[in-house]
Structure 1
Amino acid sequence: MTTVKERLRGALSNLDLGIVLLVAAAVSVLDLLEVLPNGQTDKLILPVLALLAFVWIRDRNRQTRVADQIAAVSRTTDGMWRLLASGDSVKSLNGAAITRLLAEARASTDMWLFKGGTGTYIRAVTLPECIERARRTRSKMRFLLELLDPTNKALCASYAELHRNLSNDGAEEKGWTSLDTRKDVYATILAACWYRQYNSQLLELKIGLADTISLFRCDLTSHNLVITQRGPEFPGLAIPRNSPHYNPWYVELENSLNQTKPLEVDKAPQLSLRPTASEARELFAGLGIPLTEEFKDSDVADIARVALSRTDPYQGRVPAPSVN
């Protein structure tokens, strides 16, 4: 039901047209009653027509502005819907397309936000390649890492069991244990701290430890978001930066990282060029995630050794990507 206020607003918006009609009606009535002197009516017709033309021109200009606004909104809306409908906002990837897209991102991005499990690929490929490019171009790099909490034994045991259940018969994951998961996370943390210490002017680092498990891994760069599973041979998704989905995912991943247990990487003890097992123990103690009695000297030595190893964990599983 139309309210009184809405009626008044509508009447005021057409006030000028009402005045013209009122003047025209008054002149016609006065002419019929022969109140006006002879010839006076003809003199009043011209001003009324001029006023009517003014109102008509103003109304037409108003309609043109409204049409332009509608067209602008329509273009924006149509563009967004075309983007969504065309599939350009979310792309499904398989095989080498995933590694190719990540390789292209490593060649130019200045930011990398990772949410996943142990961060093996981040440690072996992403981080060292991004640091090498940052050195060549003398540019800064920002790394945000959300990893499993290696001090949470039950969590790492569940992660290992999940991957054993999802692995194919005879796959390497069949023998993967909770201790292996914890060692892998520790190795990634050691590697990240090592690269930061030796590239302090180039690398901004933030590490958060999560107490939840996800089957998916998210790699968000300044160009796109890539969501993968247990390796590049499994289907993945890519969301480009110009997609309407990119910024909400960015906010979601940063918010997720902010809810994790942060590591104070500034307090990390200095590591040598080739970290030793004793240095690794000191590092994790300084970060507040000390190695427990389950970790034998040989385990700690493995952590220090693989931390800076650049062996691609997915090498040979998919065709190598080519980056132009």
Structure 2
Amino acid sequence: MRLRGALTNIDLGIVLLVGAVVSVLDLLEVLSEENADQLILPVLALLAFVWIRDRNRQARVADQIAILGRTTEGMWRLLSSGDSVKSLNGAAITRLLAEAREGSDMWLFKGGTGTYIRAVTLPECIERAKRTRSKMRFLLELLDPTNEALCDSYTQLHRNLAGDGAEEKTWTALGTRKDVYSTILAACWFRQHNSHLLDLKIGLSGTISLFRCDLTSHNLVITQRGPEFPGLAIPRDSPHYNPWYVELENSLNQTRLLEVGKAPPLSSPPTVAETRRLFEVLDIPLTDDFKDSDVADIARAALSRIDPYQGRVPVPRPAVSVN
């Protein structure tokens, strides 16, 4: 490396050497003034040659950097292209999530109440795990139902964004809290009745977001306020998938994690007393706002298989091949 660097700059070294020799000889009065003046021009010419060559070298380096910059920019455009991140609408979101339920052995959810998770995703994934005798890992990040101000803000946000006549206009903070409790109860119930199949972690968040993330073994699907709104899909082979995986799991680990392993026995369906006891053990007890009728609603909704988005988006039909 040092030898190559010395050879690259040998011309500059010759200029310095000649200049130094002429200066020494002039000081020692070995050269006459006439001969010294005659040597100045060749030295200046050699110096000009070195300067021009250096300018050309810098220009070539600049061109290479520009090419590299364009290549990097092109690569970034490729990573952000439709092959890496896909925009989805309506039925495409429903179809992608349905495909994930049929083949994924892991589901990481970050959202609000998890209504769709408990009604569709969780039971269908458990059914598939039973058929294939495979293990399922479920990681859920939900709103903290004990944080009344948080649940009220979440409700108001969706009320304000909803159009006239939309179901969200009728939402209440108590209803939001009941939804979260139902999802927690459902997850604990499925874990208890399928302990050999379901590995469960639940974390309660103190923040709200418009976006819902469903990360599976195949894709990350990011949606907002239901499947009729635009969403994004990031496939597993995208360079964005793993960073999102790390981000979502790290977010879950910073939440208030529930000790689901302490859940007491739950009947089919759970009783009001069992439901109250469960949340006491999990350290998220129901407040006096929850009457027995509300607790019964929580237990009923927990095991209900009613799709909350049914009828809002047409279900995609499989393609029919023509022979």
Alignment TM-score, normalising by the size of structure 1: 0.76
Match of 2:158 in 1: 163
SS at match of 1:107: helix
Structure 1 residue 77, shift from structure 2 partner: 7.3
What is the CA distance between 1:171 and its match in structure 2? Answer: 1.1
Q: Which residue of 1 aligns with 2:111?
A: 116
Pick from 154, 161, 167 the counterpart of residue 172 of structure 1. 167
5+ long unaligned stretches in structure 2: 9-67
Query: Given the alignment of the two structures, is residue 250 of structure 1 paired with residue 221 of structure 2, yes or no?
Result: no
**Matching residue of 2:21:** none
CA distance in 1, matches of 2:80, 2:216: 24
Q: Identify if the C-alpha distance between structure 1 residues 267 and 99 changes in structure 2 by more than 3 Å, giving closer, same or farther.
A: same
The residue correspondences of 1:121-160 to structure 2 (distance < 5 A) are 121-160=116-155
SS of the residue 1:146 aligns to? strand
* Cα deviation digits, residues 74-117 of structure 1 (max 9, x gap): xx979955742542111000010000000000000000000000
* Identical amino acids, percent of aligned pairs: 82
Tell me the amino acid that sits aligned with residue 285 of structure 2: P
CA contact (8 A) 1:103 1:321 kept: no
State the TM-score, normalized to the length of structure 2: 0.76
The root-mean-square deviation of aligned C-alpha atoms, in Å, is 2.2
2:103 partner SS = coil
8 Å contact kept, 1:100–1:323:
no
Q: What code does the residue aligned with 1:265 have?
A: V
Does 2:91 align with 1:96? yes
The separation in 1 between residues aligned to 2:227 and 2:279, in whole angstroms, is 31
Aligned partner letter, 1:174: K
Contact 1:112 1:221 in 2 (8 A): yes
CA contact (8 A) 1:219 1:227 kept: yes
Give, in angstroms, the shift of residue 172 of structure 1.
1.2
Q: Structure 2: how far apart are the matches of 1:184 and 1:227?
A: 21
**In the aligned structure 1, how far is the partner of 2:215 from the partner of 2:180?**
20
Distance 2:220 2:180 in 1: 22
Please say if 1:184 is aligned against 2:179. Answer: yes
Distance 2:210 2:73 in 1: 35
Question: What are structure 1's unaligned runs of at least 5 residues?
Answer: 1-5, 14-72
| Conservation of the 8 A alpha-carbon contact between 1:190 and 1:280 | yes
